[in-house]
Structure 1
Amino acid sequence: EDTSRGAYDRASKAAEQVRQILRANGIEPKAAEIGYFSLQPVYDYKTAKRKLVAYRVNANVSLKLKDFSKIAPIVQQLSESDVTENQSLNYTLEDMEAAKTRAVEDAYRRARESATAVARASGRTLGELSYASVDTFENIRVVNPLQARAMSTMRMEAAAPAPTEEFTPQSVVVTAHVNAMFTLR
């Protein structure tokens, strides 16, 4: 846009289009979270004195869905509107903290079993835990924007099942590394 006001107005119009698309798909706009919103000048750097040529608005909106049948229509409608330059889809675990806790518990159990085996092999018994450190990592697969663009060309019939229907969701791997130090008796 030529002016910051024009860019802001266009962003406001785009935001309203997103709200309408969400409502048309039975989703309240409050379910979407805005990650950032920025209004930036665009300069022409080809000349010695940089010249302001336009303004650009960037925003990041996240939407968490459990009903995968709504993904294709929303992506299709967003790609057909003048709202987005690129879109991406992410698959994440809903309760990451519970998964991390379970991974830590499993890692600690394996560490204790290994320590018990070492103690037994040396003719000793395992004592109390004297020190532990924990590190967790989640391997979240991000869909390539080119794949997301390919998905946006997919049209779904109203009676057609969601592409993910009857399939088991992909596993999200949560790894815990536990260093445990036990006393020996």
Structure 2
Amino acid sequence: MEKSRVLTVFGTASLRVAPDIAEIQVGVVTEDTSLEQALQENSSKMNQVINSLLQLGIPEEDIRTTTFRIQPMYDYVDGQQVFRGYQVTNMVSVRISDITQVGLIVDTAVRNGANQISDLNFMLSNPNEIYRAALSEALLDATANAMTLTNTMQVNMDPIPIRVDELPQSVSPEPRMYSMAEVTSGTPIQPGEIVVEANIEAKFQYGSDY
């Protein structure tokens, strides 16, 4: 009986999918010489922003605070540090399950007092499911590569691999990040597509016994 040999091949697969969710950072920054006044104004505006988003149907659990910061501000006059007042920053992350509402959500937040929008990020709600589909296709690709090689060598191959290793996965291109100027300027926002790629290394046995 001929001793079997091992063939190592690589498989890859890429799936292009449209993003179906988005996240955006919305916030209010206030300044005043009185800390109490800066806090009160910030709280009032932020509550108005959050309530307006809730009225659009965004679930409360999809709005979460990401930053709350109080810091003193100073100017430098003739080399001297001069106290200018306090700055209060309150930022929330908003998860948007209907990406067709992104423009409406941004406009609503700004109309109700938001003056900071840091990023708009389009993503996938089911990245693991998409990756597993790509992983399955990557294994088929590796098997096809192995069969091509063994057919060329005119030897038989066991179609069931003796080992399969996942290689680092990638999502390319990364979802585009939008600045506040872009999302409030009326420029059409295109979510584009996300490419989910899976790569594997597989080992197959081959020889005259298969």
TM over 0.5, shorter chain: yes
Question: Relative to structure 1, is the Cα distance of residues 33 and 124 closer, same or farther in structure 2, using a 3 angstrom cutoff?
Answer: farther
Match of 1:24 among 33, 55, 65: 55
Does residue 110 of structure 2 align to residue 79 of structure 1? yes
CA contact (8 A) 1:91 1:141 kept: yes
Does residue 178 of structure 2 align to residue 149 of structure 1? no
Deviations 1:102-124 (A, max 9, x none): 11111121112112211222233
Instruction: Give me the CA root mean square deviation.
Output: 3.1
2:23 maps to which residue?
none
2:68 maps to which residue?
37
TM-score, length of structure 1 as denominator length: 0.72
More helix by share: 1
1:107 maps to which residue?
138
Compute the displacement of 1:71 (Å).
Answer: 3.0
Question: Relative to structure 1, is the Cα distance of residues 49 and 102 closer, same or farther in structure 2, using a 3 angstrom cutoff?
Answer: farther
Match of 1:61 among 93, 97, 110: 93
Equivalent positions of 1:41-52 (< 5 A) are 41-44=72-75, 48=79, 50-52=81-83
Match of 1:90 among 100, 116, 121: 121
Residue type of the alignment partner of 2:98: K
CA contact (8 A) 2:146 2:204 kept: yes
CA contact (8 A) 2:53 2:109 kept: no
CA contact (8 A) 1:22 1:74 kept: yes
Compute the displacement of 1:148 (Å).
Answer: 1.0
Moved more, 43-52 or 130-139: 43-52
Residue type of the alignment partner of 1:55: Q
More strand by share: 2
Residues in 2 aligned to 1:170 and 1:11: alpha-carbon distance in whole angstroms: 35
Residues in 1 aligned to 2:163 and 2:60: alpha-carbon distance in whole angstroms: 50
Aligned length: 171
Deviations 1:128-175 (A, max 9, x none): 3334132222234325323312238x9xxxxxxxx99xxxx8532111
CA contact (8 A) 1:134 1:177 kept: yes
Residues in 1 aligned to 2:142 and 2:77: alpha-carbon distance in whole angstroms: 61
Does residue 206 of structure 2 align to residue 184 of structure 1? yes
Compute the displacement of 1:52 (Å).
Answer: 4.3
Question: Relative to structure 1, is the Cα distance of residues 34 and 126 closer, same or farther in structure 2, using a 3 angstrom cutoff?
Answer: farther
Show structure 1 runs of 5+ residues with no match: 155-162
Compute the displacement of 1:19 (Å).
Answer: 2.0
Residue type of the alignment partner of 2:107: Q
**Which is greater in Rg?**
2
Match of 1:174 among 185, 189, 196: 196
Question: Relative to structure 1, is the Cα distance of residues 177 and 108 closer, same or farther in structure 2, using a 3 angstrom cutoff?
Answer: same
Q: SS of 1:141's equivalent?
A: coil
